[in-house]
Amino acid sequence: MIKLFSLLFTLMFSSYSIAQQDMTDNEYCQIQLINTDSAATLSSNPVVANLIKEEVALLTLPAGSNRLRLSCRLDQQAVFTFGKDEIMDVSWEAQQVNLIPLAASSPAFLLPTGTFSADFVLLTHHQFNQRFVWKPIATFLNYSLFNNIIMGVFYGLCLTLILYVFFMGRVVGDTRFQFYSLYVFCAATFFLLQEGQLHIFLPQQNFLLSHQFYLLFAGLTVFTATVFIVRLTDIDSKWPRLTRYGLELGASGVLLMSVLLLFLDHNTLSAVLGIAMARVTLLIMFGILLLVAIQAFRKVQSARLVLLSLVLMVLAMVFRVVFSDFNPFLQRYALIIAFAIEAFVLAVAVSARIKNIQAEKLLAESQANTDELCNVLNRRGWNKSANEIINQQKLMGGFICLLYIDLNDFKQINDEWGHDVGDKVLKVFADIIRHQLRSNDSIGRIGGDEFVTIGIFQNRTEAENLALRVQKRLQAVNLRIDKLTTIATSASVGHVIYDEPPKGADYMLSQADESMYQIKRSNKHPKHHPNLQVNS
């Protein structure tokens, strides 16, 4: 019984398949290579590909001008289309019917119903496998819409990255990021020309749509990518000669070849230049990949991210060239997706480099504004902080309090105990003063033994209290030198309070300095007591 059902099912399926074959056999298309200017003679051994609806057929075309004949029998209108990556020019003639070219990213023609034939002449740059396909109109429109949406998102991503990195590069003053913006722009334009979106909007602009213009941006992409990557990963610093005479010279050669191809029609020289351009690009790519891998092993900043992006690009090129029949989607979009990921990864690397540059800049600025001995602001840093507080008072009001502190008999300490002890005294005084201040107050050392502080307060009483607290704390300071010896010293503290914005930092300093000297002249300063045992 089971065998009987199995036999009936097999017969029914076979009948259905035959019926389906009968239905589809009514429509067919065939593409035939009937003439070529190649040295090979094809007329006696014509090359033919049967086109199955919605399935891609491959036909090997030699370099040069190739005449192909499309023969069809259709019950419904359809669209005939083919890739244009390696095609330099397309022309067609059809005496029996009127072929209507469509505005699409690839060459596409509306095919009529009935039995007809049409000839196409394709000028190719070198021998390659050309893809041909015919589709129902609805299928073609859906595919075109899907492709244009994906490419629109891709171009939007590229534009965002170009603007972001360009302006960030201007902010930090680093030309590497501007090279990255130029690289993304050239690569995006390269894909725009390759994918053919310009055909939709500028169908009559032959130069912009030409194969030579497409190759020009291929050369620009190789050049800008090389310059950017070797600088981002510090390859130019590690191997300057290899970078200059190997990678960058090779990239310049690729760019020069792409420029020369602009002025050459299809001939032997242009074919040789095209092959040389591809091979030099491949050598540069593998050279950069090897050097970036070495830099990543050495843990150079951003090198690992760049290595990841390069590996993705290599895998995408393998899928596009070697495994072209493995998956149609990957064959079409693998390189675009890989570049989008690469652009994002490189943007992360650029952001990390920008962050590092900003941190280095802040560190350098902090070091330039800091007194190394006491770890407080130096004269330059304190003036900057004081001017910021003056501007804050202009906007928000309040009371500025400035303290001018001078150590008493500091020269005597240096003379008797030496400069190492004098430096220790300065450090301790700086710490004592800092501990009396609020976190938003500023302290600076503007002379050998002179310190200044500045802060803004809500009322005068708070400012006066700070001045009194610091004066009291510095009236007597005992510093332990060793287990048996301490130094008793003190400081004079002058202060000024401003309820209106003063003229500037130097004006405030002169007034506070005068206040400090009045106090110094009016006080009697205690002598140091070497044997006094008091902890500071």
Predicted local confidence at residue 17, as pLDDT: 41
Give 324's pLDDT tier (boundaries 50, 70, 90). Answer: low
**What is the reported pLDDT for 19?**
38
106 close to 85: Cβ distance less than 8 angstroms: no
The pLDDT tens digits for 206-262 are: 666 677 788 899 999 999 999 988 988 889 988 999 999 999 999 999 999 999 988
pLDDT at 523: 66
- Rounded Cα gap, residues 42 and 61, in angstroms: 11
Q: 8 pLDDT exceeds 90?
A: no
As a whole number, mean pLDDT of residues 20-40 equals 69
Tell me which of 160 and 200 has the higher pLDDT. 160
Residue 308 DSSP label: H
Average pLDDT for 258-284: 85
Residue 323's pLDDT is 62
- Lowest mean pLDDT segment, chosen from 16-20, 77-81, 501-505: 16-20
95-154 residue pLDDT tens:
777 888 888 888 899 999 989 999 999 988 777 788 899 999 999 999 888 888 888 888
Q: How confident is the model at residue 268 (pLDDT cuts 50, 70, 90)?
A: confident
Instruction: Decide if pLDDT at 41 tops 60.
Output: no
Looking at residue 111, what is its pLDDT?
A: 92
pLDDT of residue 15 exceeding 60: no
Phi, psi of 522 (to 5 degrees): -90, -10
Burial of 224 (0-12, 13-18, 19+ CB in 10 A): buried
Over residues 77-81, mean pLDDT: 93
Q: What is the reported pLDDT for 136?
A: 92
State whether residue 129 is helix, strand or coil.
strand
pLDDT value of position 256: 95
Fold match flag (138-365 vs 371-522): no
pLDDT of residue 209: 67
Q: Which residues contact 528 (CB under 8 A, 6 or more apart)?
A: 409, 412, 413, 416, 487, 488, 489
Q: Please list the alpha-helical segments (H only) found in 196-239.
A: 197-201, 211-232, 235-238
pLDDT greater than 70 at residue 11? no
Would you state the pLDDT for residue 371? Answer: 82
More confident residue, 342 or 391: 391
**531: pLDDT strictly greater than 50:** no
In the structure encoding, which two tokens stand for residue 475, read together?
């009236």
Residue 24 has pLDDT above 50, yes or no: no
Q: Which residue has the higher pLDDT, 135 or 370?
A: 135
Pull the structure tokens for residue 316.
Answer: 């995408």
What would the pLDDT profile of 419-446 be if each residue is shown by its tens digit? 888 888 888 888 989 899 888 888 988 8
| pLDDT for position 278 | 85
Q: What does the DSSP 8-state code read for residue 248?
A: I
Give yes or no for residue 473 having a pLDDT over 70.
yes
Within a 10 A sphere around the Cβ of 354, how many other Cβ atoms?
Answer: 17
Q: Under 8 Å CB-to-CB from 83, ≥6 apart: which residues?
A: 106, 130, 131
User: Which pLDDT value is given to residue 38?
Assistant: 61
Is the pLDDT reported for residue 185 higher than 90? Answer: yes
Mean pLDDT along residues 398-425: 87
How far does Cα 494 stand from its chain's mean position?
54
Residue 467 φ/ψ, nearest 5 degrees: -60, -45
Q: What pLDDT was estimated at residue 527?
A: 44
- Average pLDDT score over the chain: 81
Is 383's pLDDT higher than 80?
Answer: yes
The pLDDT tens digits of the residues spanning 442-467 come to 898 887 888 999 999 999 999 899 99
Rounded Cα distance between 343 and 163, Å, is: 13
Instruction: Please state the domain extents for the chain.
Output: 22-136, 138-365, 371-522
CATH architecture classification, 138-365: Up-down Bundle (1.20)
- pLDDT in the model for residue 205: 64
289: number of Cβ within 10 Å? 16
Going by C-alpha positions, the residue among 484, 229, 494 that lies closest to residue 353 is: 229
- pLDDT over 70 percentage in the chain: 86
Spatial distance between the Cα atoms of 27 and 51, rounded to a whole number of angstroms: 10
Q: In the predicted model, is pLDDT for residue 87 greater than 70?
A: yes
Does the domain made of 371-522 have the CATH classification 3.40.50.10260? no
**Would you state the pLDDT for residue 49?**
86
- Which one is the CATH code of 22-136: 2.40.50, 1.10.10, 2.60.120, 3.30.420? 2.60.120
145 versus 330: the higher-pLDDT residue is: 145
